[in-house]
Amino acid sequence: MAVSFETYGRKVKSRRPRGAAERFLSRFLVGSGAIEQAFQQLVILLKGDVPVVSALETCSELSGGDLKAALREAAELVRGGMPLAKALRTSMPWIGGVFIGLVEVGEANGSLLQMFTYAARIMQQRRAIRSQVVRAMTYPVLVVLMGLGVGYYVSTVAIPKIISVMGNPDALPPVTRSLLSTSAFLRAHGAWLLLAPALAVAAWMALRRTPGVGTFLDRMSLHIPIFGKVGRFSANALFNHTMSMLVASGISVVDALELVRETLSNGWYKVQLAEVRRKVVGGRMFSDSLGETSLRRLSPLTPALVKVGESSGSMDEGLDYAGDYYSAALERRLDLLGKLVEPALIVVVGGMVAYVYIAFFMGMAAMNAAAR
């Protein structure tokens, strides 16, 4: 479908260009959900034969904040004669090279609607995978935080008041004295213990940004029992689905490998994809290049399906099948994780409660025996 860049003669008021600081801050102020919604709106408008400039202006009116300003600026740049891909790269580079690359291909071969559709699908799949992981981890995290909070309150507030009526601590049973020692330790250092998880997460995020160290940590995280497979399956699903759509859109394997690296958060996967790209540029087949890197173990199904696709001309379908397989595997792994975490939390929290009750009642029994 040919897409016009006209504006139906509508006169639009010129606005002050956005500065470099505004463009930089937009990457932190615009959420991925808002970007996905804007791309879906663009798909609907282009399907209705709305010109690109008018579609961008309409999406701007439907959006808010920095995204509104960015879309408005992109519309003005296109009206001034700038190609759409270049206008998006100028006004909103933070949407990612994958999506700008798809728009560039769409402008070159006249399939802009199809490329925006691919971009919206990639965004939707990324959100679906992220939502799966977040949903599966929310319940355990909340239970752990509530357990820590209740344990801290009982140990530092309730127990000292109750134990204070039991008399000489030296006459209490060992389990009761250990509870008193634990309570004293938590009163002295409990705040730091509560802050420890947040500090650990902050340290992990800081180290991940360090070249070399971050890649090593990402590699090790893939081998953590139970949780490591969640990371591998989510990365595999995203990698295969994104590669499938990029190849289907007409982007070369070399360019697709460079673009797909931006969609992955795991540094070790990015290193392996860079190595695969280097081998493909050197003349190796894509399937052979995958088999000669760690991706052969991380995503063992992909090289076999790609090899079949290379000979049959349906590489995008093979990659899509692999993506579907790993998406289903991720769902099963998250379901298993939920089933394992819940009883483990019950055992841990129940053990804490049992320890407090046993220590308290044994202390009461010892106090009653001493009073006779």
pLDDT per position as a tens digit, 76-122? 999 999 999 899 988 888 888 888 888 888 888 888 888 889 888 88
Quote the pLDDT of residue 19: 63
Quote the pLDDT of residue 305: 92
Quote the pLDDT of residue 167: 60
Sequence-ordered alpha helix ranges (H) in 95-212: 97-109, 112-153, 159-163, 174-208
Quote the pLDDT of residue 276: 94
Quote the pLDDT of residue 322: 92
Phi, psi of 22 (to 5 degrees): -65, -40
Quote the pLDDT of residue 303: 92
CB-based contact 323:237 (threshold 8 Å): yes
CATH 1.20.81.30 boundaries in the chain = 122-372
| Distance, CA of 8 to CA of 170 (rounded, Å) | 90
* Beta-carbon count within 10 A of 141 CB: 12
Quote the pLDDT of residue 280: 93
Quote the pLDDT of residue 9: 40
Residues of the chain short of pLDDT 50, as ranges, are 1-14
Sequence letter at residue 82: M
Quote the pLDDT of residue 5: 37
Quote the pLDDT of residue 8: 39
Closest CA relative to residue 26, chosen from 93, 76, 120 = 93
User: For 122-372, CATH number?
Assistant: 1.20.81.30
Q: Helix axis angle, 112-153 relative to 97-109, nearest 10°?
A: 170
Quote the pLDDT of residue 1: 39
Q: Which two tokens stand for residue 326?
A: 């790993």
CB crowding 261-281: b at 16 or more within 10 Å, else e: bebbebbbbbbbbebbbebbe
Closest CA relative to residue 248, chosen from 360, 57, 106, 90 = 106
CB-based contact 231:104 (threshold 8 Å): no
